[in-house]
Amino acid sequence: MFSIRTLSAQSLIKYCAPALSLLFSLSLLITVATITPDTRAAATSSDVWVSIDTEDLSLMVMEGDHPLQVFENIAIGSNGPTLVRLRDDGTTPLGEFTITEIRPSERFEMFMAFNYPNLEHTERAFLDERIDISEYRALRYDLDRGLPPPQNTRLGGQLGIHGLGAGDIKVHETVNWTEGCIALTNEQLEELAKWVVVGTRVVVR
C-alpha cells in the first residue's frame, strides 16, 4: 500500500515544493502589507502638527517644517487673538496646545478640543491675578498629570477646532465670528480629520 511514510526525502521535496513556495509567497505579501505605510498614517506621527496663523487666517498641517495641506480663509474669535484670554471675551488664545478629544458635534459637525488653558496661560494668569489660588491649583493639578484642564475657571475653556455646521458660509468668509475657537468649513474639517488625532500638537500664532 502506498504511504507517505515510504517516500524518500527527495520525493517529499518534489511533492511539497509547490505548497512551500505558495506559503512563502503569502508570508512575504503579509509582511509587506504590514510594514508598507499608508499615506495618511503620518497623522499618528509626532512629527505631524497643526499651525494656525491668526493674521493670515490659515491653517497648515505640517510634518516637521514641510507643509502637507493648507486651509485658507478660516475664522477665529470675533475679538481677535490674545495671550491674556478670559472667559466669554471672544478672543482666541495664542500658544502651543494639544488635541485632547475629537467628537461629533450637532452644531459644528465635529469638534477637536485642545488643552486650553495650558500651563503657559495658567502661569501667566496667576501672575497677572486673573485667577485666584484655588483656580490655579485646580488647573495645575490636572495639567501636571497630563489631563485636560478644568474648563470652568475665569480663563474659560471649551475651545478647539470645529466646522461651520449649518452656519452661513458668507458670514464665515467675511468676519471672524467664533467665541474663541478656530472654525473651518465642513469640507475643510473633514480633510483635516484625516491628519489629526488625539495628541496632535496645535500651534496658534
Do 98 and 52 belong to one domain?
yes
Do 20 and 99 belong to one domain?
no
pLDDT band at 36 (very low <50, low <70, confident <90, very high): very low
Percent of the chain with pLDDT over 70: 78
Query: What total number of domains does the chain contain?
Result: 2
Q: Give the pTM.
A: 0.78
Going by their DSSP bridges, the two strands 201-204 and 48-53 should be labelled as: parallel
Flag whether 90 is in a domain.
yes
Q: CA–CA separation, 157 vs 25, rounded Å?
A: 55
Percent of the chain with pLDDT over 90: 77
Do 12 and 73 belong to one domain?
no
Q: 40-92 pLDDT, tens per residue? A: 444 455 689 999 999 999 999 999 999 999 999 999 999 999 999 999 999 99
Q: 171-186 pLDDT, tens per residue? A: 999 999 999 999 999 9
Do 88 and 23 belong to one domain?
no
Do 187 and 106 belong to one domain?
yes
Do 97 and 183 belong to one domain?
yes
Written in H, E and C, the secondary structure of 20-79 is HHHHHHHHHHHHHHHHCCCHHHHHHCCCEEEEEECCCCEEEEEECCEEEEEEECCECECC
Structural domain span for residue 77: 40-116+156-204
Give residue 5's pLDDT. Answer: 37
In the DSSP assignment, the letter for residue 94 is P
